[in-house]
Amino acid sequence: MRTMFRSMLLLMISSFLLVHAFAQSNSSKLILPAETGKIPFTWRGDSMFARWEPYAYLMIPVKLKGCPRLFYMQFDTGSPYSMLYKKTMENIHSKYPGLLPESPRKDTLDQFDLMLGSTPVKAENLLLKTFGEGNIDWDDSTKPVTIGTLGTDLIDGRKILIDYPKQTMQLGDKITPLSEPVDFVYMFGRILLPATIKEKQTLLFFDSGSSAFGLLTDKATADPLALAGATTVMHKVNSWGRQLSVFTLPSADSIVLAARKLPLRQVSYMEVSPNNVQAEQMRRMGIGGVTGNMLFTKAVLFVDSKKKQFAVWEK
């Protein structure tokens, strides 16, 4: 499963700057009904920040034609394209022959059908990514199995409404937000939300694959947001073979998004060298950090990638 650690601040900078060329070479497309029903999602927890984090991953239930087992895909707006995990799919295919359609390319499926909840989805040019071991315990159907990632191609050119308290999402042109939408930056499949932090305007990269972060930023931004005298918790993570250190502190402060004040609860940072060219490029682009699902767990998020507008309201 792709984890939030893929989009740690340093790696996010480099991937953001390079993603345009890659996105152009990948033409994956997800075809959905004009209006979808409510697609349920569930949370998967993980141990981090010296405690159990129940909102570590946002998972969408998935059904595959010809296979009775329920699978999951992680909703990850940190990725501009969706993918299936190759070894896991080969395992499923060996158990249920004929599940994967024939394709002239080894790492791409020309066409593939799946169900997100009760919503049918037709995928074209879907990438098969070598990720994970692909092990499945076929004797225990209660063990969740993740087969891939749903990226921003799921919402590209569409409106999406994510009701975090009710754990549902809905896509379609007829969705109307309950608060006034504001503009955001949408380029190369990346969502950059204008935010106000300590009365300073900035852009936050919305990465739903970084669920456990209300705000991942630099130390200079994090320190004023932390509770006075709070103890810093260091969390060592492995991101694509690199050992990184994330520092997290409790916070009683908030971030303003679309005229709504959202409580932080905690703030995280990574130490970046003053001479880091990528960090300087990010600052020049006006990007102040990363926010994941944690910031919205008690709210509803509306995103219209076609008009490049979003709205937030609390339940």
For the cut 90, the answer to whether the pLDDT of residue 263 exceeds it is yes
Please give the average per-residue pLDDT across 87-114, as a whole number: 87
Find the range with the poorest average confidence among 29-33, 226-230, 273-277: 273-277
What torsion do the CA atoms of 188, 194, 195, 201 make, to the nearest 10 degrees? 110
Q: How far apart are CA 248 and CA 294, in angstroms?
A: 14
Residue % of the chain over a pLDDT of 90 = 61
Q: What one-letter code names the amino acid at 273?
A: S
Sheet holding 39-40, edge to edge: 39-40, 168-171, 159-163, 299-304, 309-314, 182-183
pTM higher than 0.75: yes
Q: How confident is the model at residue 177 (pLDDT cuts 50, 70, 90)?
A: very high
At 140-154, the pLDDT tens digits run 999 999 999 999 999
Quote the tokens at residue 77: 């707006």
If we measure between CA atoms, which residue out of 132, 131, 173, 124 comes closest to residue 153?
A: 124
Question: In a 3-state reduction of DSSP, which class is residue 130?
Answer: coil
Which fold does the domain 4-12+21-160 belong to in CATH?
Answer: Cathepsin D, subunit A; domain 1 (2.40.70)
Contacts 24+ apart (CB under 8 A), 245-251: 245/270, 245/271, 246/8, 246/216, 246/270, 247/219, 247/222, 247/271, 248/49, 249/222, 249/225, 250/226, 251/214, 251/225, 251/226, 251/227
Q: How far apart are CA 185 and CA 309, in angstroms?
A: 8
For the cut 80, the answer to whether the pLDDT of residue 302 exceeds it is yes
The domains spanning 4-12+21-160 and 173-314 adopt the same CATH topology:
yes
Angle CA(190)–CA(191)–CA(192) in degrees, nearest 5? 115
Please give the average per-residue pLDDT across 184-210, as a whole number: 93
Q: How far apart are CA 214 and CA 193, in angstroms?
A: 13
Between residues 285 and 225, the one the model is more confident about: 225
Between residues 52 and 177, the one the model is more confident about: 177
pLDDT for 45 equals 86
If we measure between CA atoms, which residue out of 314, 187, 174, 176 comes closest to residue 258?
A: 314
For the cut 50, the answer to whether the pLDDT of residue 234 exceeds it is yes
When the pLDDT of each residue in the chain is averaged and rounded to a whole number, the result is: 85
Q: How far apart are CA 168 and CA 58, in angstroms?
A: 11
pLDDT for 274 equals 56
pLDDT for 184 equals 96
If we measure between CA atoms, which residue out of 229, 224, 227 comes closest to residue 198?
A: 224
Please give the average per-residue pLDDT across 93-101, as a whole number: 87
Sign of CA dihedral 156, 57, 194, 270: negative
For the cut 90, the answer to whether the pLDDT of residue 257 exceeds it is yes
Which fold does the domain 173-314 belong to in CATH?
Answer: Cathepsin D, subunit A; domain 1 (2.40.70)
Pair 221, 197: CB distance under 8 Å: yes
Q: How far apart are CA 184 and CA 308, in angstroms?
A: 6
For the cut 60, the answer to whether the pLDDT of residue 90 exceeds it is yes
At 24-68, the pLDDT tens digits run 445 678 999 999 999 999 999 887 766 788 888 999 999 998 899
Radius of gyration of the chain from Cα atoms?
Answer: 19
Let me know if 24 is exposed, middle or buried by CB neighbors in 10 A (0-12, 13-18, 19+). Answer: exposed
Please give the average per-residue pLDDT across 115-142, as a whole number: 92
For the cut 90, the answer to whether the pLDDT of residue 254 exceeds it is yes
pLDDT for 288 equals 87
Please give the average per-residue pLDDT across 228-237, as a whole number: 84
The domains of the chain are located at 4-12+21-160, 173-314
